[in-house]
Structure 1
Amino acid sequence: MAQEYKHILVPVDGSKEAELAFKKAVAVAKRNGADTELRLLHVVDTRAFQNISSFDTSMVEQVTETAKKTLDKYIDYAKEHGVENASYSIEYGAPKTIIARDMPKEMGADLIMIGATGLNAVERILIGSVTEFVTRTAICDVLVVRTDLDNKPIENPKKRRF
């Protein structure tokens, strides 16, 4: 019996890795049938604004507007590729817990498709990878996208081999 996922969550943050995860999720949703829900999620990390002394709500509004434009394009792409049941959410707070627990519970997600981290080893130690946290603590299955649309490894200029 093949596993069919009917409620797919795709966190997107504007990165190349997230875009590839989204495009692969469109293909999975299409294969799993017309009743498959594809939900895109963008989390505005409000903690990032706490250290800015001149913080005001217009900064969050600008980030939200930029996210909406990107997400609207993604929804158009999904519909052009045969996925009619596509929507998005913009949430505010801590990305790790919203992606791993809150949103999957709210929507009844059975799969999270997330891009591999773009962080190098030092950045992962200092701030932690959202992807790594999600794979450890999510309440549903997680698929980490590490390849491009031709299933070739994603070239990451931050990873250098000595």
Structure 2
Amino acid sequence: MSLTYKNIIVAVDGSDEADWAFKKAIEITKRNDAELHIVHIYELRVYPSDAASIKARAEKFGNELLQRYLKKAKEAGLQKVSTLLEFGSPKAAITKKAKKVIKADLIICGKTGLNAVEHMFIGSVSENIARSAHCDVLIVKTQKNEE
């Protein structure tokens, strides 16, 4: 059993909580000399009349978001960094990609994200990741969460 991490996923959605998680991920990645995988999963609820337009905007937003985080990671001195943009349910996709594609040994995410309404009704992405992940999970709380 290894006490270091080699493949770390940080889930980002553009929220303040994701920013905090990303900052922690940078430091943990450095301490472990690991590879950081920055993942954004866009939940696309398709409406037939404008599906292509919605998906195009979501893809543009996701790619721009990932590029901003990639730039920050490289500015922080990380050499081994990748990004992944997927469409689907973040609750399922993050842990599936973590296991199959990335072989992550740590997933880092914010306690809450952009979709607070969904959290009230069916639970948060972070809760689902913690329950279904095959690896360690770090759920990052911000100062705002503590108040």
Q: TM-score, normalised by structure 2?
A: 0.88
Shift of 1:56: 2.4
Q: Where do residues 1-162 of structure 1 align in structure 2 (5 Å cutoff)?
A: 3-33=3-33, 36-46=34-44, 48=45, 50=46, 52=47, 54-100=49-95, 102-105=96-99, 106-118=101-113, 123-147=118-142, 154-156=143-145
Shift of 1:84: 0.7
Paired positions, count: 145
Structure 2, unaligned stretches of length 5 or more? none
Instruction: Please identify the structure whose Cα radius of gyration is greater.
Output: 1
Q: 2:144 aligns to what SS in structure 1?
A: coil
Q: Deviations over 1:36-95 (max 9, x none)?
A: 11001111112x2x3x46322121111111111121111111111111111100011121
Q: Distance in 2 between matches of 1:124 and 1:58?
A: 26
Q: 1:55 aligns to what SS in structure 2?
A: helix
Supply the RMSD in Å over aligned alpha carbons.
2.3
Query: Percent identity between the aligned chains?
Result: 41
Shift of 1:144: 0.5
